[in-house]
Amino acid sequence: MTLSITLTVNGTPHHLALDDMRVTLLDLLRDRLGLTGTKKGCDRGQCGACTVLVDGRRLNACLSLAVQQDGADIVTIEGLAPEGSLHPVQEAFLEHDAFQCGYCTPGQIMSAAGLIAEGADGTDMERIREGMSGNICRCGAYRGIAEAVAEAARKARTEADA
């Protein structure tokens, strides 16, 4: 069977014909649209490396069929900030050296952006760690990651109050 779907990815609408329903959102982003910033780690929803924002909410792209997301608005690491600039979470990751090998980093950053958008976790370190528990870092850069997320959350809150 063939189905046509529409996805807005990083602000650009895509009309895509799917001739195999098995393709996941993750594989479609990487193989069809060439957006390889979203990583394939475990491919089972256990590591968080494939985290993207779907209609503003963080999801594991590996555990969604592309066809399920027909009509959705998707943001990947490539589209988090306008070309040539960094998102506050990206800036904070640099400042706090929140990575070692970098493989989990796009997922960590997208998850942090989603967490901050959810708003409920504030800047409490324990809540940030809990809110980021779906993203595994095998290098163990958790300390820097949590500090970076806290700083980006503080900045987002200050800007919201200003």
Partner 1 sequence: MKSFEYLRPETLDEALAALSDPDAASLGGGTNLLDLMKLGVAGPERIVDLARLPGLDRIETLPDGMTRVGALVRNSDLAADPGFAAAFPMVAEALLSGASAQLRNAATVGGNLMQATRCAYFQDPFAACNRRAAGSGCDALGGANRGHAVLGWSPACIAVHPSDFCVPLAALGAEAEIAGPSGTRLVPLAEFHLLPGEEPHRATALEPGEIVLALRLPAAAAGFAGNARYLKLRERTSYAFAVVSAAAALRIEDGTVAAARLALGGVAARPWRCSEAEEALAGKPATAESFAAAASIALSNAAPSGANGYKIVLAERLLARTMAAAAAGTPAEMPALPGSLMDDTGEAAHA
17 near partner 1, judged by CB under 8 A? no
* Smallest separation (angstroms) from partner 1 to the CB of 92: 19
Candidate residues 10, 76, 105, 111; the one interacting with partner 1 per rule CB under 8 A: 111
Burial of 127 (C-beta count, 10 Å sphere; 0-12/13-18/19+): middle
Distance CA 28, CA 32 (A): 5
Closest approach of partner 1 to the CB of residue 162, in Å? 26
Indicate the residue among 15 and 44 with the shorter CB distance to partner 1.
44
Binding mask 60-89 for partner 1 (x = CB under 8 A): x--xxx-xx-x-------------------
Under rule CB under 8 A, residue 142 binds partner 1: no
* Other residues' Cβ atoms within 10 Å of the Cβ of residue 95: 13
Say how many Å lie between the first and final Cα of the chain, rounded. 53
CB of 30 to partner 1, least distance (A): 16
Instruction: Taking the CA atoms of 33, 73, 158 and 133 in sequence, report the sign of the dihedral they define.
Output: negative
Kindly state the number of chain residues that form the binding site for partner 1, as judged by CB under 8 A.
Answer: 36
| One-character DSSP codes across 72-130 | -EEE-GGGSS-TT---HHHHHHHHTT--SS-TTHHHHHHHHHHHHHH-TTTT-HHHHHH
Q: Which amino acid is at 113?
A: A
**Based on CB atoms, which residue is closest to partner 1, 95 or 124?**
124
Can you tell me which of 124, 138, 139, 143 binds partner 1, judged by CB under 8 A? 124
**CA trace torsion 8, 61, 54, 143 (10° rounding):** -130
Q: Is 39 in the site for partner 1 (CB under 8 A)?
A: no
Binding interface with partner 1 (CB under 8 A): 1, 3, 20-22, 24, 43-45, 48, 51, 57-60, 63-65, 67-68, 70, 111, 114-115, 118, 120, 124, 126-127, 129-135
